[in-house]
């Protein structure tokens, strides 16, 4: 008879969604910070890098050994230590091998591991890898119980929590990572300088940053370049652990025939892709943003060689490069944020001294643990040797006990007061070990190990002796990676900025006369020379001309839109007049519903009268209108249905305002306030009408207008229309334009 099984349903307990999210997200954040994104201050490695190197060590991929397929390494890493995607592990391995990414590569790669152009490495099945000497130093003495191990994710194996780190990898190779709520960014440094500073810290643990900077000059990037930061900003960055370094490309001027020259860039800033840099410069040339540059060529082979050709030989090379530094990635900022995990696994920002001291403290811990491990092995060996010596001194009795007694081990222990290990060792001795020569060898070994044991015990008790040994190791490393070695010599140099980065691009633009054409629908173009008239100009079907004016290629053009905003364009960058031009709305963020009401060349000293459709206005300095933003700059505040209507130069002492109701009002310019931005004041009261036009003129010279027949006419006697600001005015004089427009307000109009 079958028994009835009762299944109990799981009991569910209600939990707040907020509490659940906070708990789970905190766990995720901590996992990301400690197990993925931030390096350990002791060995400068993240878990994925540590597991890659450990797997390579297990595969015996030492520098002197042969290569193995990268796929084999990646397979061991993800199968035994790092349960993540194979591509992410391979990408990490590739970066450890790239000479342009790692200052001191940890992986020696064979095959295509990418290049400075930004090309990706070949698939892992095609490339091979092994460790470098630097990686070997990081793993040195790993089997001497120098660091703690932990179980792997599946519990089948063990992996080190940190490496012994016989190399200051954190600062030497740098690191970068983004965690949850924090990030790290450490540029690479010259290891000889780091070791010199560390050696000084052994003698003066509380040394100031100023003193350490006598050794550590600044970052040392694998791609070289020139650091142009001032010493004070470098000091502030290292003192706080946060800051940035300004790095420029290295270049030289090559002389050519007939007085010509060209710039050759030989080193580019760190982490800048050469191909993307060239594309960016080419884009700027096409957009006419680099008027001094004729061409750029990439003649790079193994070394970088970018050739920059100037427009003409009269350009100053320093000023040309100053403009390129300003506009391109030939100059960049490398951030410094020394946010790392300390020896207790706590993330915090360290300064230069703390980072070096943490590495030194780790080296001391490694030395002490290594010494204790060696001492324990010596004790075990000496115990056996003591047993062997007792056996040699009592050889006949030992042989008798072994031959005659039923329990020789126990009798040996009892007779000669041996330990269990000593008795087992004597019983396991071979007959050939009973030779006199073998006895002499054992006595010699016993003497050496006894002396070594005494030294190790003395070392464990002597703090100064421990630091002396560490200092000796540092000096040996400096010989191996010193400035005279190919890998150790400094690549990034330092220089002082001369101010050439403040060069204006206008000095490179050749000054030539041009005619600016803007159609009613906002298509703009530029014709060479000053046209005598605009009658021969053609426009797109359904469009017609609105503004035709003379300018120079070096001029900035100011566009005023009905939304009250001012926009700026470079006259030398406008499309050619061979076609119909381009819509100005592609160049500037002007809404299709907004109309362009005025275009004129910029004059810094000039003032303008800005008036809205309902008659509000004020005087503004023209320099306030300039803006480098596509969105322009708000000058006249208008609210629908009102809009900006008139912008005219202030050249006089009287203001004439004409309304759509045909009424004219003239009043003193002093009654209009000068503002940088705002709504302004009412200039004329129109009732239900609106403003038609406005001008500023000199009372003694009269108001000049264009009559219906197109002739210029001057009205010198306007006393009858004089009044106060905000009045309605009187019906316009006879001879005034019937279209309500007073003619061109700006000079050089067609």
Known catalytic residues are 126
Q: Is the dihedral of CA 330, 336, 341, 343 positive or negative?
A: positive
- How far apart CA 526 and CA 518 sit, in angstroms, is 9
Eight-class DSSP state of 79: I
φ, ψ for residue 58 (rounded to 5)?
-65, -30
Q: Minimal CA–CA distance to 462: which of 473, 454, 451?
A: 454
Q: Is the dihedral of CA 189, 190, 196, 198 positive or negative?
A: positive
H-helix segments, 499-591: 584-587
| Residues written for the chain | 750
Q: Minimal CA–CA distance to 273: which of 48, 421, 114, 157?
A: 114
| Tokens read off for 329 | 């990635």
Name 46's Cβ contacts closer than 8 Å, sequence gap at least 6. Answer: 36, 37, 38, 39, 40, 175, 177
- How far apart CA 374 and CA 246 sit, in angstroms, is 48
| Tokens read off for 412 | 């040996």
Query: Contact at 8 Å (CB) between 161 and 147?
Result: yes
Q: Minimal CA–CA distance to 96: which of 169, 158, 194, 195?
A: 169
Residue with tokens 């960049």: 332
Angle value at C-alpha 158, between 154 and 159, nearest 5 degrees: 110
The 10 Å Cβ neighbour count of residue 266 is: 15
The 10 Å Cβ neighbour count of residue 256 is: 10
H-helix segments, 241-338: 274-286, 317-327
- How far apart CA 201 and CA 356 sit, in angstroms, is 8
- How far apart CA 627 and CA 392 sit, in angstroms, is 99
| Tokens read off for 12 | 């569910």
Whether the bond into 502 is cis, omega within 30 of 0: no
Tell me the sheet residues that pair with 307: 264, 297
- How far apart CA 355 and CA 343 sit, in angstroms, is 11
Query: Contact at 8 Å (CB) between 704 and 697?
Result: yes
Q: Minimal CA–CA distance to 34: which of 177, 237, 211, 215?
A: 177
Exposure of 254 in the CB half-sphere (CA atoms within 13 A): 13
| Tokens read off for 638 | 């208008």
If phi > 0 it is left, if psi is from -120 to 50 it is alpha, else beta; for residue 165 that is left
| Tokens read off for 486 | 């190919």
The 10 Å Cβ neighbour count of residue 560 is: 25
């Amino acid at each position: 008879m079958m028994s009835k099984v009762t299944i109990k349903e799981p009991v569910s307990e209600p939990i707040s969604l907020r509490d659940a999210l906070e708990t789970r997200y905190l766990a995720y954040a901590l996992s990301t910070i400690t197990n993925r994104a931030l390096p350990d201050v002791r060995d400068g490695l993240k878990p994925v890098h540590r597991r890659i190197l450990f797997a390579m060590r297990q595969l015996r991929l030492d520098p002197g050994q042969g290569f193995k397929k990268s796929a084999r390494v990646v397979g061991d890493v993800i199968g035994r230590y790092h349960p993540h995607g194979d591509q992410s592990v391979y990408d990490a391995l590739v970066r450890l091998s790239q000479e342009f990414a790692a200052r001191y590569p940890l992986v020696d790669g064979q095959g295509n591991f990418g290049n400075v152009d930004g090309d990706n490495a070949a698939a892992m099945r095609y490339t091979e890898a092994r460790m470098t000497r630097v990686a070997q130093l990081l793993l040195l003495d790993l089997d001497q119980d120098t660091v703690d191990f932990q179980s792997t994710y599946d519990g089948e194996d063990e992996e080190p929590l940190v490496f012994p780190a016989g190399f200051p990898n954190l600062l030497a190779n740098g690191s970068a990572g983004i965690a949850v709520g924090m990030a790290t960014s450490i540029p690479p440094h010259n290891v000889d300088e780091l070791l010199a500073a560390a050696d000084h810290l052994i003698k003066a643990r509380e040394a100031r940053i100023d003193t350490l900077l006598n050794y550590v000059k600044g970052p040392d990037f694998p791609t070289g370049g020139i650091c142009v930061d001032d010493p004070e900003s470098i000091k502030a960055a290292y003192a706080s652990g946060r800051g940035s370094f300004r790095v420029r490309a290295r270049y030289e001027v090559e002389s050519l025939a007939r007085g010509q020259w060209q710039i050759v860039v030989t080193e580019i800033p760190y982490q800048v892709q050469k191909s993307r840099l060239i594309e960016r410069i080419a884009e700027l040339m096409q957009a006419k943003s680099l008027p001094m540059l004729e061409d750029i060529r990439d003649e790079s082979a193994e070394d970088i060689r970018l050739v920059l050709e100037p427009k003409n030989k009269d350009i100053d090379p320093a000023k040309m490069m100053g403009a390129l530094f300003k506009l391109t990635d030939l100059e960049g900022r490398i951030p410094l944020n020394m946010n790392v995990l300390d020896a207790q696994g706590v993330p915090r920002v360290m300064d230069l001294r703390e980072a070096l001291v943490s590495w030194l403290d780790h080296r001391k811990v490694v030395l002490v643990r290594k010494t204790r491990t060696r001492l324990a092995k010596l004790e075990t060996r000496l115990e056996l040797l003591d047993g062997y010596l007792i056996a040699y001194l009592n050889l006949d009795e030992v042989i008798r006990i072994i031959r005659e007694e039923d329990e020789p081990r126990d009798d040996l222990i009892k007779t000669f007061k041996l330990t269990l290990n000593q008795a087992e060792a004597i019983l396991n001795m071979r007959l050939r070990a009973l030779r006199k020569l073998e006895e002499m060898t054992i006595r010699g070994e016993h003497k050496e190990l006894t002396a070594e044991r005494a030294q190790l015990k003395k070392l464990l008790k002597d703090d100064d002796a421990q630091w002396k040994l560490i200092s000796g190791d540092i000096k040996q490393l400096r010989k191996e990676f010193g400035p005279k070695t190919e890998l150790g010599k400094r690549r990034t140099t330092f220089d002082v900025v001369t101010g050439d980065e403040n060069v204006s691009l206008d000095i490179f633009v050749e000054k030539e006369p041009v005619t600016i054409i803007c159609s009613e629908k906002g298509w703009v173009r530029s014709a060479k020379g000053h046209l005598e008239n605009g009658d021969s100009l053609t426009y797109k079907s359904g469009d017609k001309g609105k503004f035709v004016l003379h300018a120079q290629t070096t001029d900035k053009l100011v566009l005023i839109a009905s939304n009250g905003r001012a926009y700026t364009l470079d006259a030398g960058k406008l499309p050619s007049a061979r076609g119909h031009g381009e819509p100005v709305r592609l160049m500037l963020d002007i809404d299709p519903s907004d109309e362009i009401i005025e275009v004129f060349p910029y004059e810094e000293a000039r003032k303008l009268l800005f008036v809205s459709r309902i008659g509000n206005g004020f005087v503004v300095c023209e320099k306030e209108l300039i803006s480098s933003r596509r969105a322009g700059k708000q000058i006249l505040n208008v609210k629908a249905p009102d809009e900006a209507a008139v912008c005219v130069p202030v050249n006089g002492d009287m203001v004439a305002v004409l309304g759509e109701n045909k009424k004219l009002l003239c009043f003193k310019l002093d009654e209009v306030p000068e503002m940088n931005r705002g709504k302004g004041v009412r200039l004329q009261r129109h009732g239900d009408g609106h403003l038609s036009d406005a001008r500023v003129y000199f009372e003694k010279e009269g108001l000049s207008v264009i009559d219906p027949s197109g002739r210029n006419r001057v009205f010198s006697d306007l006393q009858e229309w004089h009044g106060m600001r905000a009045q309605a005015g009187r019906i316009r004089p006879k001879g005034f334009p019937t279209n309500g427009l007073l003619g061109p307000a700006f000079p050089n109009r067609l």
